[in-house]
Amino acid sequence: MKTVAVALSSIALVLSGGGGKGAYEIGAWRALTDLGFEIGGVYGTSVGAINGAAIVLGEFEKARDAWLNVTFEDVMRISPGMEKLLRGKSFDISLSELRGILNDFFGKGGIDVTPLRDLLKKFIPEDAVRSSKIDYGLMAYSMSRMEPMMLFIEDIPQGMLADYILASANFPAFTREEIRGELFIDGGVYSNIPLKMAQLRGFKKAVVVDIGTRTLRDILTYISTFSDLDVVYIRPREHFGGLLTFDPEVSRKYLLEGYLDTMAAYGVLHGRTYYCYHPEDILGKLFMTLSSDQRKIAADILGVRLSVNAPAEYQYTHEILPKLRLETLSVENESSAICLRILETLAKFFDFQRLRPYTPSELLEGIAKKYDQGVDGVINSVVYKIRYEKIASFLYFLWRHGNREVLKTPPGYDEFLQRFEGLLTAK
């Protein structure tokens, strides 16, 4: 096996299988590029092998547009009934129709993925992959030999790259992929995260984008490479569709989430549920701008008695902040983290859009607007009254009466937001 010249600054990108969730990996790739990482090799299983070939080519827009337009018809030949079944609409299928679907499925030996083969040959020029300065490899599994196959680009016969990519992505429900009399099944049955390939190529740093399930082999590989590889794992916070969900809207969500989760993994964004740029304690900043009478009113909203004549900073740090922490059951210690926890808690209750970045000020402004509007009766709900009324009223008071001029747009946020907003459309 040959070794590749690995720059000390370069990383290996390892992409797991995950079917219809694959757009997540493309979003993660774009984020890594924006963060300035040099990718020296890409190694994938199943859809990771497909995306890996696209990444080696360096054509983000082409890969993005393919995912944003993909449908069931682009991947497989199936009946309307089978599509309903794959979309989870089994209740719309009669028993007789289900019988016909299953007879067709078993009669053909699985789902015909000829459209996917045609798509791969159209969008992935083999010569360009072979001549790329970025190394490439995939994981497949030979059913004929009952053994896994780690195939680097030089191991794949000339003119057969698309065939071996399809072999790696041969989901068990698909018709078996046959190459020169040898039957293959999805490489994910053995190793869904081909981290070992990065180690064999001599990389010291790897980023794993994990959108599927880990096998025992993946766990053992991680343990055995722990001392040799510095590995960062990136995983979806939320799932929007399954392995066989091929839908443009689902792909859009995954692509955005992949970008945001990667930025969060490297500390550009923060938060558990939302993605916050440069978190800071804006509640404390606004509280400090209130008059002594206004601070007393704000404290009364929370049921806190302030120390008379104490400085505003003391009142906030020692009396207001502990109450806020208690009300939101926050385990954080830093005031900026407690503030973010409060903002996220209310943003989640008010059902803010999740797949976008926010500044703390944007979250607070959104909460104040929801409070002002009454949010279609939510303000009068029992859950709100019990859990959130005090906190929401306190935040609203700060927003209305505090001096908002102290809330500045964090440095770099406008540029970051511009890049994010162009993610789906930029050429």
Condensed to tens digits (0 to 9), the pLDDT of residues 7-50 reads: 557 999 999 999 889 999 999 999 999 999 999 999 999 999 99
Q: What is the pLDDT of residue 412?
A: 96
Pairwise pLDDT comparison (80 vs 366), residue with the higher score: 366
| C-beta of residue 105 within 8 angstroms of C-beta of residue 93 | no
Q: What is the pLDDT of residue 123?
A: 84
Q: What is the pLDDT of residue 369?
A: 93
Q: Which domains does the chain have, with CATH numbers?
A: 10-77+112-267 (3.40.1090.10), 275-416 (no CATH)
- How does pLDDT run across 133-166, given as a tens digit for each residue? 999 999 998 888 888 889 999 999 999 999 899 8
Q: What is the pLDDT of residue 229?
A: 86
Q: What is the pLDDT of residue 216?
A: 61
Q: Predicted confidence band at 274 (pLDDT cuts at 50, 70, 90)?
A: very high
| Distance (Å) of CA 267 to CA 263, 264, 423 | 6, 5, 19
Q: What is the pLDDT of residue 390?
A: 87
Q: What is the pLDDT of residue 111?
A: 73
| Distance (Å) of CA 75 to CA 20, 117, 121, 169 | 10, 8, 13, 11
Residue type, 392: A
Q: What is the pLDDT of residue 376?
A: 52
Cα separation, 18 vs 28, in Å, equals 14
- How does pLDDT run across 358-400, given as a tens digit for each residue? 999 999 999 999 988 875 555 556 566 667 888 999 999 999 9
User: Is it the case that residue 272 has pLDDT exceeding 70?
Assistant: yes
Average pLDDT of the segment spanning 219-243: 79
For strands 135-142 and 38-45, give the pairing: parallel
| C-beta of residue 312 within 8 angstroms of C-beta of residue 288 | yes
Q: What is the pLDDT of residue 286?
A: 98
Token pair for 247: 């839908």
Q: What is the pLDDT of residue 187?
A: 81
Q: Residues near 241 by Cβ (< 8 Å), separated by ≥ 6?
A: 20, 21, 247, 250, 254
281 φψ region: left (φ > 0), alpha (ψ -120 to 50), beta (else): beta
Q: Predicted confidence band at 94 (pLDDT cuts at 50, 70, 90)?
A: low
